[in-house]
Amino acid sequence: MRSWIAFWNILMKDMRNYYLKPPNISWGIIFPVAWTLMFLLKSPTAVDVRELLPGVMSLSVLFGTTSMLSVTLTFERRSRSFERLLLAPLDLNLLMLAKTSGAIVFGLINAFVPVLFAAFLTDLSGIDWLPALGAIFLIAVTSTLLGLFIAVSVKEIFEAQTFSNFFRFPMIFLCGLFIPVESLPIFLQPISYMFPLTYGADILKSSISQNGHLGVPINFLILLAFAVGLFAVSVRNVKHKWIY
């Protein structure tokens, strides 16, 4: 019981100190809106908002979660505030879940900003919300754990930002967000399937615009495998790099 009280307090502290700050809230709103307007204004023909929505939602989650967690954990490690948490009588797995939960919640909120705007532009009836919600959650989880992996792998905040972009920008073009994976050159397609976002975006496409090219069950299984693998590797790195 005390462990879960500690979990809740760490989550609430991170939400107050990092995620609910006005600049972060505005970033979560402005970023997806900017991406949507870019496609609407640059396209010479009418844009199908429902076709665009899965990609914008995925990017909103990806950039929100990885940016926040990789930077905040690196900052806490530099200021040694994270070391005080490591000294607490709390299981390391539960501690890392607490530190990642705030970013996951922030990513979930970001995902629905473009949905809110899309509701004013098009009819959203017919969306299969159950798998869509599951996909949004798993995209938030895997993106957050990617941010955790980055934070554990670097020492400086600027390194975390640079390393984050090393993963994020290829995902924009290789994960089927706006260019279908099957339309990419053959030599790039295997790289696409190495990113968890490819499978989350495909579930959203199947749920929102009914044009996913992989099966929804297999997408969920692969996303879960990515989540477990990223968490295990990150916790192992914390033990070996930050504790021992």
pLDDT for position 36? 66
pLDDT for position 15? 76
| Below-50 pLDDT ranges, the chain | none
Provide Rg for the chain, Cα atoms. 18
- Alpha-carbon distance values, 145 to 36, 92, 101, 136, 185 (Å): 26, 15, 10, 14, 29
pTM of the predicted model as reported, rounded to 2 decimal places? 0.85
pLDDT for position 221? 93
pLDDT for position 25? 61
> Tokens representing 125?
């009836």
Domain range annotation of the chain: 2-243
List, in order, residues 6 or more apart from 222 with CB less than 8 Å away: 196, 199
SS3 180: coil
